Amino acid sequence: MALSRGLRCCQRVFSWIPVLIITAVVLWSYYAYVFELCLFTITNTLEKVAYLLMFHICFVMFFWTYWKSIFTPPATPCKKFQLSYSDKQRYDLEERPDAQKQILVEISKKLPISTRAQSGAIRFCDRCQVLKPDRCHHCSVCETCVLKMDHHCPWVNNCVGFSNYKFFLLFLSYSMLYCVFIAASVFQYFFKFWVGDLPNGPAKFHVLFLMFVALMFFISLMFLFGYHCWLVAKNRSTLEAFSAPVFISGADRNGFNVGIRKNLEQVFGENRRLWLIPVFTSQGNGHHFPLKNHSSASQNPLLPNEDMWDESDDGSEEGSLGEFTSVFTLDLIIASIFF
């Protein structure tokens, strides 16, 4: 038991290493750009002030979105999706798998659930003891079920899902902007150092290396950002792109696709003035989502009448924390490719 706790503690410590690497690189870039380039290399005062102003805007937006991506807790299913005491007793005492499935079907009729497991059964998490809402998955790293889980990202040491997907997208976009601005403003001094028009010194190493790092990260981020833009346009998560959600009528990758405009509004909200600001504006509560085919949704026996579901719950209540259950941490694969 003590060994297990020790290993878990070590895992939590080591999980912060990717975040520390990103933070160290960004802090070095701040020193290299502000001090070595702007203060020690650039002589034109107007150019220096303009570069410093634009750089700090990009820097603040980058760190703001990165902070929100890291420290926004994953949204978990509310208490309405947990088994009641009597239902849990019935479920635990029943030894026949078919009977257990039927118990879950009866409970799910009171909830807005439209997806099923690959086997056709109601999706139920044995670790968290909750019926999984649509698009909800259990994360083995966070040890809890996460609403609209996209993937567990080691670079933010957090699950990317309903509560912080907008922040993650903005983090990618402002990271790209940060790299583009650095590369564009550093290029002329990079060239001057390269051909020998500027004297050798400590600034030369920082400026040359700053150019290479900015371009390298930009190319990596461009592919990752493009992939997530495609996912948003299709209204899919990374998990759903690899394994299509299953409905009563069968698997359908486009089951939640309601059109590009509405797909964007689900993530960024209806107020477009707030789309580029890292404040939560996503639609809904993360427990149920509009379906592509409303007619088939209305015929779904798993969906209750509107008066049976109280939407006043914002989904902020924490679900039960489960023990370990396996789920693909897909971002480890993506990160190994792009970084």
User: Per the residue annotation, which of 136, 145, 153, 159 is the catalytic one?
Assistant: 153
Please, is 215 exposed, middle or buried when counting C-beta atoms within 10 Å of its C-beta (0-12, 13-18, 19+)?
middle
Query: From CA 229, how far away is CA 274, in angstroms rounded?
Result: 18
Note if 78 is an active site residue. no
End-to-end CA distance of the chain: 36
The residue written with tokens 């026996």 in the block is 301
Residue 125, phi then psi, degrees to nearest 5: -95, 110
User: Catalytic site residues?
Assistant: 153
